[in-house]
Amino acid sequence: MSISSSNSSAVVDQLVENGVKSTALLDAVNDEYGGVIIEMKEPMDSEVFRSSLRASLSQWRKEGKRGLWIKLPIEHANLVEPAVKEGFWYHHAEPKYLMLVHWLPETVNILPANATHRVGIGAFVINDEREVLVVQENAGKFKGTGVWKLPTGVVEQGEDICLGAIREVKEETGIDTEFVEVLLFRQTHKSFFEKSDLLFVCMLRPLSFDIQKQELEIADAKWMPIEEFTAQPFWQREGLPKHIVEICLAKIDEGYAGFAPIPTTTAFSNNSSYMYLNSQFLNQPSSSRI
């Protein structure tokens, strides 16, 4: 959600005629969907805030506003309760702030949904000697199992999948790589609380070979012959492990085509982003079109 203009509502002092009391409206910025965004940057007494919010709500109703957003930095946690009492509810939260929202019209709200997925990567890095880059972890479900696994990690907020895969391999093993393609992906639900996971298993080409393992998370890291890797009982288990092995083998021996990233721009802006599509299509002579 971007902000279309900076014409914030003027702060209006409504002086009570016979007294001292004044109620300032909250400082708000219009968004491009007929709503307003209030970002509480300064501390405020919770009672003062509630009065201002009430006066502002009355004003926004008159103006026909729709979605109302209040971004509350965690330092102003005292303002959560008054906002909720005035009808706001939670939209999303990050470590340092809580976003509350309210929908004024009588109609069904068309507010954007919250984020629902975490994105992870698994990295299949194989060298010219058919050795796979594998690790053992100090924590997590593989800890103490003796299983040599592919480096995995979580894509950070705002990070491209292809760059997140390169970063994770570098962090865990010290190996530089270039991204080749997404071999497969898998969606799971209720992976942490109610949220879902998207795991992208990616192939990367190593550009360096000397392993420097990360101390905190990684117990051990090495290059392992692919036959030895796939012979581990864990990787012969039905379901995802076996599928991953089969597709990695199909990639190196049978020309399996995954999805390769190509830079593109979004439809309504010039923001750059990556799209991922069948790599064979990209390599066909006829597709000089992309």
> Scanning residues 6 to 25, which ones bind a second copy (CB under 8 A)?
none
Choose the stretch contacting a second copy; rule: CB under 8 A; options: 129-137, 170-178, 192-200, 218-226: 192-200
Site string for a second copy, 251-270 (x = CB under 8 A): ---x-xxxx----xxxxx--
Residue 187 binds a second copy, judged by CB under 8 A: yes
Residue with tokens 């420097």: 212
Contact between 285 and 240 under an 8 Å Cβ cutoff? The reply is no
Contact between 117 and 202 under an 8 Å Cβ cutoff? The reply is no
Contacting residue, 11, 139, 207, 231, with a second copy by CB under 8 A: 139
Contacting residue, 4, 78, 236, 283, with a second copy by CB under 8 A: 78
User: Distance between CA atoms of 133 and 190, rounded to whole angstroms?
Assistant: 30
Contacting residue, 58, 212, 236, 273, with a second copy by CB under 8 A: 273
Contacting residue, 41, 61, 92, 143, with a second copy by CB under 8 A: 92
Q: What is the smallest separation between the CB atom of 16 and a second copy, expressed in angstroms?
A: 29
User: Distance between CA atoms of 124 and 241, rounded to whole angstroms?
Assistant: 13
Q: Which is nearer to a second copy, 209 or 234 (CB)?
A: 234
Contacting residue, 4, 22, 58, 188, with a second copy by CB under 8 A: 188
Residue 231 binds a second copy, judged by CB under 8 A: no
Q: What is the smallest separation between the CB atom of 209 and a second copy, expressed in angstroms?
A: 28
Residue 283 binds a second copy, judged by CB under 8 A: no
Q: Which is nearer to a second copy, 18 or 157 (CB)?
A: 157
Choose the stretch contacting a second copy; rule: CB under 8 A; options: 15-23, 129-137, 225-233, 239-247: 239-247
Residue 41 binds a second copy, judged by CB under 8 A: no
Q: Which is nearer to a second copy, 206 or 261 (CB)?
A: 261
Contacting residue, 87, 112, 146, 233, with a second copy by CB under 8 A: 112
SS3 18: coil
User: Distance between CA atoms of 100 and 51, rounded to whole angstroms?
Assistant: 17
Contacting residue, 54, 118, 167, 170, with a second copy by CB under 8 A: 118
Whole-Å CA distances, 136 to 42, 158, 169? 47, 28, 13
Contact between 12 and 24 under an 8 Å Cβ cutoff? The reply is yes
Residue 93 binds a second copy, judged by CB under 8 A: yes
Q: Which of residues 145-184 bind a second copy (CB under 8 A)?
A: 154-158, 160-161, 183-184
Contact between 233 and 153 under an 8 Å Cβ cutoff? The reply is no
Q: Which is nearer to a second copy, 26 or 183 (CB)?
A: 183
User: What tokens were used for 37?
Assistant: 């965004």
Contacting residue, 94, 178, 220, 228, with a second copy by CB under 8 A: 94
User: Distance between CA atoms of 15 and 86, rounded to whole angstroms?
Assistant: 22
Contact between 73 and 97 under an 8 Å Cβ cutoff? The reply is yes
H or E element in which residue 83 lies = helix 80-85
- What are the residues whose beta carbons fall under 8 Å from the beta carbon of 109, sequence distance 6 or more? 67, 103
Surface-to-core class of residue 288, CB atoms within 10 Å of its CB (0-12 exposed, 13-18 middle, 19+ buried) = exposed
Contact between 161 and 119 under an 8 Å Cβ cutoff? The reply is yes
